[in-house]
Structure 1
């Protein structure tokens, strides 16, 4: 069949088809739909018109119908490159980039010189981080198109993203001509970009010479100076680097990159990486051998004399200085912030205010609150005093009073958005969902037709995360999952927003900003604390639902302890269903299927809003809740680095997903590269038991379940303190003495270990459950009795610690209760009843101790 769509149409049909294509470009989807329907009335089997109709339907929000028409169009002429291209456009609009790429490749098989399809393919390959194929696509585009600056720049960037810096430099050298650019800015960007490539390639001397030769041609002087100073540092030309950083500081004395570069130039910092500079990074660095604290402190103090108004320079020495120097430096800093040239009555207020916060930080919150109350009586209109009162009350566990105090602060300045936001957060932490929603609606436009929908579209991720946690505390796990999915969807939209810039930045020659954007997006799923929390908590909720669904199949199974049958037994049909329904879940879950909006849609194509309650039902009613984790796992795998919190949640998912134990082993191997963690030992024991119950034929050599590497890593971390060849009880007993982490961390890990591994302990089941509750009870007893906890910084058990112990106790109680209530009437039922009473008595002691520590906190 002909690949030209117009040859099969009459003259009028050809005109209508061209007009319909134009309507798609101008987003006139309704008019375009009518045009394709007119064509199909006379030529009902015209492949390209059928596909184009599907594209219009998809962009008008009729997703399923759109897919059907596109597929039918392809069936009518599978050799049509336009139909394949349209199929790819639909997949791209649906954020299914791998499928879109496959469609584009099919289109190119039938039309190998179509430049537009190659361009679309290149953008998606960049979006999917498929850099090897991106290079080949960029080479092809360069060969079949007219000379264009954006084309060879695109190829150079493709080589850089694939870490082939020399080839990227070669492309620039062979194609760059400043006269072919419309503006000096574009040429300036190329100069800076080439210097960056030389630095990345390790050719620092050449980079230095090149920068010197183009100094008068680069328009972005701060970036030029920054690059020049970095090159000087790499060449040990510290004096030159120091002079440049001093010049940069004269323009921006609070820039942490310039400050860190200056410290590197005087050898106070041994390794300087400007890409990861932050205040926390500098603080962490100051505690390492790579940092000369004395020299850094003295140098920054000297800089203060040149820039006395810089608060950054005044506060940094407090993080770097020695213990002996801290008191005078802190005293000077506080005096400068409190004492003024003229005597001020407020000086006492702010001095006392600081002292109160200091007492609270030391854990003496009761005394801090008492002094603050006195201060508020004398100065009732100072907002900061009220917000600090709310904070202290929160630390004391009195969440209702904390909410009331924050709302009082809000009423002092009703137009302050920060205070309104803080009040909403405190309401959510007090589980006052209705009040929080009413307050949050103040942020919504008054003319909004659906204010609840507006809340979702605002992408206020802090609000959604706190709302999800509030639902979770109320055991409304479905609604919590709906809120978590909204947060995750927001971050996926942030990531998807790159798509338009793959083209824009090449045309505008904003190369350095483009590379920075790519690097930012690569870290968005591993570095952002809101995403990390939402993602890990979302996965744990799905695991909880999975265990609830499957608990009726095996009453002796401890919560989360098993993947007893990855390939057979009672879950085999469920596992097949799970695998076959992975894609449908994307439509109804969070992640890729959480939004049906196409890439270039307008308001007419928006998916109808589905409220939180309705969305929660899809989770609660699902028989295979882990299906909802599959699209999220695909999102996580985009990142080269996965956060440890997400790794822990992924392990629990892989332990339960069919034929995924090899992935759980991989997660543990990655975790074992970090500092010693007792949870790795426990998960090693859990997966060792799970492997015994699987069919080895389900796993190839490539997906091996060999634990020898993991075992050697754990042995190296813990030395001879733990013998992994012993029994579970023996290993856990030795692990209780582990001092590599905090007492709370180790206690919770060991308690969880006894609880999870009790399912495999046979006759020792009761003993392991008892030991699990004993550890938690012992920890709270030590915290309650030790007076030092109330006097030394950071030692007093915190509210969040109480909450963690409470959750662990609830898991143990749940297991003991189920085993008791579902036991057969035999000799073990008495033991089970005794076990439940024993755990309950330990929990009662914990609850009493927690109430004495925090009288106003409710478990």
Structure 2
């Protein structure tokens, strides 16, 4: 029977609140005294025991702290404070698995972002110690986070009224005032913002923030003239701030007639450029605002030629956003081509221009032609300047990007490796080379590169990248493992990404007390809101959706025939055998380095009990494992279509048709044209009828039908409407329509679906590589199940696709890809011995 929970008196609760504050402000010795004082009267109070253990652990007395935290938990198993304290102690020891369990249990007992008790606790602390500034600010922030902004403003007003004789240079008070002003701005009280900033102007040191708050307030008051003056002052503080310059121009010219607006805007820009001649931002903004062809050509010529003469490698990235306007794109091409011809040393021996001008012009044009889809011309340009200047890594990197866009992933990885070999110690080049190797599915080749920048005593360098939370690399690695068939390691990578995001979420605990001590209030509130949307980050969504797709594929494999399972096991065994030799070599290299440097690190790396994901792969609850990712996506990213596509994948396999209905409805609201939504809608219609939904579910189904009648329409009608509406929207939509047709009847619709895929090659514009790759994969799936006639077989489609994209390796035979790789290796061998890799 669990022990009886100790209840504290009012005086003891105040002491306990003081203990929490002393821990948060790192007054550990005082916290120990307060805890001991409480434990004299209440020796079995679990939360005090746990907090004392947490304080001791923070003072590097980890063993004693852990024992006390566990003892406190035994006294009160239903206290979220006890579970939370134990979780923090485990996290200090990097025992993340136990830490996550404790946090999860604390969350079950007391939900996160429960602001009402927080406000009560902060109010108790303020009443106990009103002389401490941190108590006032903490209460205001608690009200703000609870969306009681008026109460937060009232607390801050009381604090400012009670504060006298603020020392000059008090940054903390300056931050309090700016935080106060930002709350008033959010409450749409512009006059109050201006009054506050005016009264406290001498005590505020963040001048740009003052300006922005004043501009917001003046704009809401429709006092445009003073707002423009404030923005003009801000430009003087930083003439490279493009957002401020754009806002100033917009407000200054808003009353001008459209016919004279461009002329007026460029008069303003001209005056500013005369005052700040070195401002690059002013010249760049002129390119965005120029509407007439002559005006754009004039400013673009000056801007581009100045950058080319300086040798700015990022010039193309800078102006790429202007390519949405085809006229501007052609104008810039013409300007740089003319500049190139002028600087071409082969045209005139008397040409006195520096050779670098010609190199940078060719470099820009290579990027340009690659971006607009002329990859052969782009390659000709970049190969020409590589022959001229072979030792510039940027040129080889550009060649790699061109090849990547052309679908030549193996060749692209080789070109990026050439760039890396020119400067083997450059972290950026090594990172890019590793990424391109992963895109080319050369997973094992990335290991020697990664070991250059990870701890030498760790056998697997990826383990160090996990500790460094390199999620971008881990996502690429997971997707590469899926492509080469190592599903276990792919699951491991996805699981590691999920744990990294959980760790990032838990790391906010370190900031709750730190930010209050340092008074970085606006940044703190922003961080809390960032953490609320952490699982909506694109990287996590990409990883979670990939994980769900993999779990669904593995579930289908488990449901397959015994022969299919045996074939998969044989394939898995062969893959493990090929990887084991590399892993053994890594261990031997690590052992030798550890012997050479015995004192470099006395902390042994933590042993991973499942380094290659075998336990994850052998799970018997694959769909439940996938649901973990889906729950987080539904909570944090309901606006992303991947969330509901993932829910469809699992719901259909669980035959939870109400969940599938909900997911399909959400997906249709986001993007009804998405081919993946069309596929799930067809599968839903094929496998459900109105009678399948019971009482409550029937009501939900009826409401969904009112919004989307297609949910109850015959499946052929669903498909026909999709083809008519979206079939010609893009190549991906056309392939999606063909896939839907095949799903409806895989026997009778095989040839019609294949013929529909072939119409992709008849498009007036060249289809993109992703569309052609999806089309080729669909034809292979159809052909594997129903042998297609010779004229529409996948091999013939690949031949035609290769004519459109000659460099794309997906449509080349294995022999051609292998021969091309051998040719590239022999070319590199001619210069590799002179370089240090």
Q: TM-score over 0.5 for the alignment?
A: yes
Q: Which residue of 2 aligns with 1:547?
A: 556
**2:608 corresponding residue in structure 1:** 609
Once residues 476 and 768 of structure 1 are traced to their aligned partners in structure 2, the CA distance between those partners, rounded to angstroms, is 33
Q: Is the 8 A contact 2:552 2:623 kept in 1?
A: yes
1:442 to partner: Cα distance = 1.0
8 Å CA contact 2:739, 2:778 repeated in 1: yes
By how many angstroms is 1:395 displaced?
Answer: 2.5
Instruction: State the shift of 1:624 in Å.
Output: 2.1
Do residues 799 (structure 1) and 769 (structure 2) align?
A: yes
**Is 1:481–1:538's contact at 8 Å kept on the other side of the alignment?**
yes
Contact preservation (8 Å) 1:155, 1:171:
yes
Kept in 1, the 8 Å contact 2:673–2:722? The answer is no
**Distance (Å, rounded) in 2 between the aligned partners of 1:219 and 1:147:** 24
Contact 1:360/1:368 (<8 A) preserved: yes
Partners of 2:705 and 2:712 within 8 A in 1: no
Q: 1:687 to 1:143 in 2, by over 3 A?
A: farther
Query: Cα distance 1:102–1:508, how it changes in 2: closer, same or farther (>3 A)?
Result: same
For 2:813, the equivalent position in structure 1 comes to none
Candidates 305, 317, 332, aligned match of 1:335: 305
> What is the deviation of 1:140?
5.2
2-structure distance, mates of 1:660, 1:71: 44
Q: Distance in 2 between matches of 1:300 and 1:157?
A: 42
Please say if 1:735 is aligned against 2:698: no
> Offset at 1:51?
8.7
Q: State the Cα distance separating 1:843 from its structure 2 match.
A: 2.2
Deviation at 1:438, TM superposition (A): 0.8
Taking the aligned partners of 1:53 and 1:811, their CA distance within structure 2 comes to 63
State the secondary structure of the residue aligned to 2:445: helix
Write the deviation string for residues 217-261 of structure 1: whole angstroms up to 9, x where unpaired: 212222122211121122222222222222222222222432343
Q: Deviations over 1:510-531 (max 9, x none)?
A: 21111121233334332x4333
Give the structure 2 partner of residue 130 of structure 1. Answer: 114
Is 2:441–2:480's contact at 8 Å kept on the other side of the alignment? yes
Map Cα deviations across residues 79-114 of structure 1 (whole Å, 9 max, x no partner).
x88x874344335652354531555x6xxxxxxxxx
Q: In structure 2, how many angstroms separate the alpha carbons of the residues matched to 1:91 and 1:667?
A: 38
Q: Distance in 1 between matches of 2:371 and 2:413?
A: 20
| Distance change (3 Å), C-alpha of 1:767 and 1:733 | farther
Matched, 1:318 2:327: no
Report the counterpart of residue 100 of structure 1 in structure 2.
Answer: 106
Instruction: Report the CA distance between 1:663 and its aligned residue.
Output: 6.8
Unpaired runs of 5+ residues, structure 1, are 7-17, 28-44, 60-65, 106-124, 271-288, 556-601, 716-722, 759-763, 790-795, 818-834
Of the three residues 643, 650, 654, the one matched with 1:653 is 650
Does structure 1 residue 253 correspond to structure 2 residue 223?
A: no
Map Cα deviations across residues 341-360 of structure 1 (whole Å, 9 max, x no partner).
98322212222222222222
Which of 495, 498, 505 is matched with 2:505 structurally? 495
- More relative contact order in 1 or in 2 (CA 8 Å, sep 6+)? 1
CA distance in 2, matches of 1:777, 1:767: 17
TM-score (norm: length of structure 2)? 0.71
Aligned to 1:533: 542
More deviation, 738-747/459-468:
738-747
State the Cα deviation string for residues 42-91 of structure 1 (Å, max 9, x = none): xxx999999999999999xxxxxx9999999867x56x88x874344335
In the alignment, which of 137, 140, 143 is matched to residue 156 of structure 1? 140
- Say whether 1:409 aligns with 2:408: no
Query: Hey, what does 1:590 align to over in structure 2?
Result: none
Q: Distance in 2 between matches of 1:853 and 1:509?
A: 60
User: Which residues of structure 2 form unaligned runs of 5+?
Assistant: 9-18, 29-43, 59-64, 92-98, 311-342, 344-351, 565-600, 811-837
1:488, CA displacement in angstroms?
A: 3.2
2:85 to 83, 89, 95: 89
What is the CA–CA distance in structure 1 between the aligned matches of 2:47 and 2:380, rounded to whole Å?
A: 77
CA positional deviation for 1:644: 2.9
8 Å Cα contact 2:647-2:663 kept in structure 1: no
1:505 paired with 2:530, answer no
Aligned to 2:34: none
In 2, are the aligned partners of 1:263 and 1:269 still within 8 Å (CA)? no
**Shift of residue 713, structure 1, vs aligned partner:** 4.6
Indicate yes or no: 2:385 matched with 1:375.
yes
1:431-457 Cα deviation digits (max 9, x unpaired): 222221111211124455764422332
- CA RMSD of superposed structures (Å): 4.5
1:30-41 → structure 2 map (5 Å cutoff): none
Change (3 A) 1:337 1:452: closer
Is contact 1:441–1:455 with CA below 8 Å preserved after alignment? Answer: no
Contact in 2 for aligned 1:468/1:479 (Cα 8 Å): yes
Checking the alignment, whether the CA contact within 8 Å between 1:356 and 1:372 is kept in structure 2 is yes
Instruction: Please say if residues 669 and 710 of structure 1, whose CA atoms lie closer than 8 Å, have aligned partners that are also in contact.
Output: no
Aligned length: 683
Q: Give the structure 2 partner of residue 836 of structure 1.
A: 787
The 1:164/1:57 distance shift into structure 2, 3 A limit, reads closer
Shift of 1:609: 2.3
Q: Is the 1:428–1:466 Cα contact (8 Å) retained in structure 2?
A: yes
- 1:626 match: 623
Query: How far apart are the structure 2 equivalents of 1:54 and 1:215?
Result: 45
- Counterparts of residues 750-789 of structure 1 (less than 5 Å): 750-756=737-743, 758=744, 764-779=745-760, 781-783=761-763, 786=764, 789=765
Compare 249-258 and 132-141 and name the one that shifted more.
Answer: 132-141
Distance 1:47 1:511, change over 3 A: closer
TM-score by length of 1: 0.69
* Residues 1:847 and 2:798 are matched in the alignment: yes
State the partner residue of 2:428.
418
The 1:673/1:637 distance shift into structure 2, 3 A limit, reads: closer
Alpha-carbon distance, 1:141 to partner: 5.0
| Paired position in structure 2 for 1:203 | 189
Per the TM alignment, residue 464 of structure 1 is displaced from its structure 2 partner at its CA by 1.7
Judged with a 3 Å threshold, the aligned counterparts in structure 2 of structure 1 residues 706 and 163 are, in CA distance, closer, same or farther, namely same
Q: Deviations over 1:641-676 (max 9, x none)?
A: 543334432332344456573475156336515575
1:313, CA displacement in angstroms? 3.1
Q: Aligned pair 1:307/2:276, yes or no? A: yes
Q: CA deviation at 1:376?
A: 1.8
Q: Distance in 1 between matches of 2:216 and 2:55?
A: 52
Cα distance in structure 1, aligned partners of 2:374 and 2:608: 48
The residue that corresponds to 1:822 in the other structure is: none
Q: What residue in structure 2 maps to residue 9 of structure 1?
A: none
In structure 1, distance between residues paired with 2:120 and 2:604: 35
Corresponding residue of 2:483: 473
1:178 aligned to which of 159, 163, 176? 163
Deviation of 1:206 after TM superposition, in Å, equals: 1.7
Question: In structure 1, what is the Cα distance between the partners aligned to 2:145 and 2:455?
Answer: 42
Alpha-carbon offset, residue 201 of structure 1: 1.0
Q: What secondary structure does 2:225 align onto?
A: helix
Instruction: Determine the C-alpha separation between the residues in 1 that align with 2:108 and 2:712.
Output: 49
Deviation by residue 1:596-617 (Cα, 9 ceiling, x = unmatched): xxxxxx998985324642xx22
2:365 to 355, 360, 366: 355
What displacement does 1:364 show? 1.4
Aligned to 2:571: none
